[in-house]
Amino acid sequence: MLRILGLSAIMLALVSLAVFGYFSSSTGSVLAQESADDLEKRIGDLEKKIKELGGVEQSLKNEIAYLDSQISLTELKIKKTNVEIAKKTEQITKLEEDILDLGDRVEKIIGTIDFQNEILAKRSRVRYENLETSPLYIIFGSGGLSDVLQRLEYLRTMSEEDQKLLTQMKETKDIYDKQKGLLGNKKERIEQLKKQIEAEKQNLMVYSGQ
């Protein structure tokens, strides 16, 4: 009997606790719901801020990537400029060697022209001396017909040789003019390359921030 009463008391107590707990939980749920709303609002605000911060972070990343790209671009420009300077310097060295070679050629051509002029002058003197001799002397004052024919053949041969020499002199002069022109062009090209190198060096100073 006592045992039954004890169980009833326990059950009553449990029901009372359950009812009390229900009302307590209802009141608490209202308070908890308000707190959750506040938290939800704060969370929403925080998420919005985080999102904004995320946007700022992304912008910074983009700016860092942009700056990295600018640095890489500058390094590439510096490298390219150095390559261009080295290339132009090599071209200048080659042109200077060509100029020395052309200078030697021009000197030799001048020597050839002088030699040809000397030969032509001698031939002109001989021809003039022969032309000074009257045709009658050539025919009658010579040692005979064979001598006349020899002299005439000599004059004909000399005339042909003179013509060949004149042709050679013209060709030599053309070669001289061409080589001289090449020499002038190469010297002019060297000056252009030197100016370009100076401009490239100025670019290097700009790229290096000097």
- DSSP letters of 182-209? HHHHHHHHHHHHHHHHHHHHHHHHHHTT
Nearest Cα to Cα of residue 85 among 208, 205, 193? 193
Sorted by sequence, the CB contacts under 8 Å of residue 208 that are 6+ apart come out as 78
Q: What is the pLDDT of residues 136-189, one digit of tens each?
A: 555 555 555 676 677 677 777 777 877 888 888 888 888 888 888 888 899 999
Per-residue pLDDT band at 9 (split at 50, 70, 90) = very low
- Cα 71 to Cα 82: distance, rounded to the nearest angstrom: 16
- Give Cα 100 to chain centroid, integer Å: 27
Q: What pLDDT score was predicted for residue 138? A: 53
Q: What pLDDT score was predicted for residue 147? A: 66
Q: What is the pLDDT of residues 38-86, one digit of tens each?
A: 656 666 665 676 666 555 555 677 677 667 777 777 777 778 888 888 8
pTM value is: 0.52
- Cα 102 to Cα 187: distance, rounded to the nearest angstrom: 11
Residue tagged 């060096």 (tokens)? 201
Amino acid in the structure at residue 31: L
